[in-house]
Amino acid sequence: MRFDKSKLPGLLTTLAAILVPGLALWLRSGYSYGAGLMVLGALCFLPRWVRYRQSNGTWLLVALFMGMAVMWYFLSVLDGGTGQFDRPVKFILGAVSLLFAMCYPPTARIFLWGIPLGSAGAGFMALWQVCVLGMERATGYTNAIQWGNMALLLGCFSCIYAVSFWHQRSLLWRLLVLAAAALGALASLLSGSRGGWLALLPMFFMLMVLVRMYRPQYFGRLLLGCAAIVVALATVMAFIPRVSERVDEVYLDVSTYLHAGNSNTSLGTRLEQYRLAVQMIGEKPLLGWGMQGYVDEMHRRVDAGSYGQSIREYNFIHNDFLDIWVKLGVPGVLLQAALFISLLWLFWPSRRRMALWPADSTPWREALLLRILGSLMPAMYLAFGMSQQFFVHNSGIVFFVFLVVALWSSLHGLERASGAVR
């Protein structure tokens, strides 16, 4: 039996898609393997996909990725030389990979397995680092905050995956995916990434809206489930000393900052940065200070004693929108907002969009799941960015961009199979 070479690009995108979340958090630079494979496929099969007719939504994402590349070129000016292109290139490669993956979309049911795989891997990595190596916080192979937030995202996605196919899959399958979800949540807790836990609020709100749309009879159960999750998390926090200490530090850090002006703590530094950002934005709200201008002015004010020394070591503010606004002004804020709003609009599972498939069929459930996860990506990243500049780090960019590529192209594959698109 001869191998059909025409299927090779689709197999490659499927493998790349499953590797993006599947290896992201438990291998060194694990988020890069799937991304690299996707880029390699895009280059190797360029003549085959370059003339493919793309949808308007895809071109919108490409334009936004390219816009983000330009923005991060200016935000990386202090890196100098080729380092200034490091972050922009990742957005550009993501745009190219998206065009390739739309021509040869991944198989959704296979790609989705990468989510619980990555969530479980993060949990086991966290247990190994904390319980075996004795580390104070689980960090994977990157920053603890980035790593913990991405683990939380995969844990939440795994839980939604399990619920979406609850009655269609075996008991063993449900137990495995729920265990993966629990391991992802545990990884987040052991990382001590407190700010990321705020992402649960928009997630719960969006799920409530969707349940009211499609399964109103289960709305009460969802509320009970959310309450049970809150109780479970509170219990875990109480019985894991490292986690409870991190929670207690929130009150202590804020209290000492407000009453004693102490900015030499994790939250104190952030609050001091926010105070500086608000003042500087008020002085140049439209076009901002520029990257170099912000750093120079921040150093001047710190050296003058107007702000605490703790913020001097950071070239960025621990808040996505404040950081962009103070440096690039309103245009930068509008671009970042456009990216998040567009993703929510493109992925939102309206009844009209879901009418392509018979209700409750397997393709319908897969499409609904992909749309829910795609809608949650900007909501959760927005929450993550409230206390951390997520796109400063390579992991934050690559994981976001290529997971969006995998979700959007997999959804396109389902729509193409339904006959709704070419």
Q: For the residues of 270-321, what is the DSSP string, one character each?
A: HHHHHHHHHHHHHHSTTT---HHHHHHHHHHHHHTTSS-GGGTT-SS-SSHH
Average pLDDT in the chain? 92
> For residues 392 and 68, what is the distance between their CA atoms, to the nearest angstrom?
12
Lowest mean pLDDT among 30-44, 219-233, 343-357: 219-233
Q: Give the model's pLDDT for residue 253.
A: 86
Q: Give the model's pLDDT for residue 1.
A: 54
Candidates 188, 192, 212, 191; CA nearest to 200 is 188
Q: Give the model's pLDDT for residue 3.
A: 62
Question: Is the pLDDT assigned to residue 222 strictly greater than 70?
Answer: yes
Question: Is the pLDDT assigned to residue 242 strictly greater than 80?
Answer: no
User: HSE on the CB side for 340, CA within 13 Å?
Assistant: 17
> For residues 371 and 42, what is the distance between their CA atoms, to the nearest angstrom?
24
> For residues 231 and 366, what is the distance between their CA atoms, to the nearest angstrom?
30
Candidates 297, 294, 286, 292; CA nearest to 329 is 286
> For residues 264 and 273, what is the distance between their CA atoms, to the nearest angstrom?
12
| Contact predicate 33/4, CB 8 Å | no
Q: Give the model's pLDDT for residue 2.
A: 66
Of the chain, the percentage scoring pLDDT greater than 70 comes to 98
What is the distance in angstroms between the CA of the first residue and the CA of the last residue of the chain?
29
pLDDT in tens, 251-281: 888 889 888 888 888 889 999 999 999 999 9
Question: Is the pLDDT assigned to residue 221 strictly greater than 90?
Answer: no
User: pLDDT class for 12, splitting at 50, 70, 90?
Assistant: very high
134 φψ region: left (φ > 0), alpha (ψ -120 to 50), beta (else): left
Structure tokens at 229: 């999750």
Q: Give the model's pLDDT for residue 60.
A: 98
Question: Is the pLDDT assigned to residue 44 strictly greater than 90?
Answer: yes
pTM of the model: 0.94
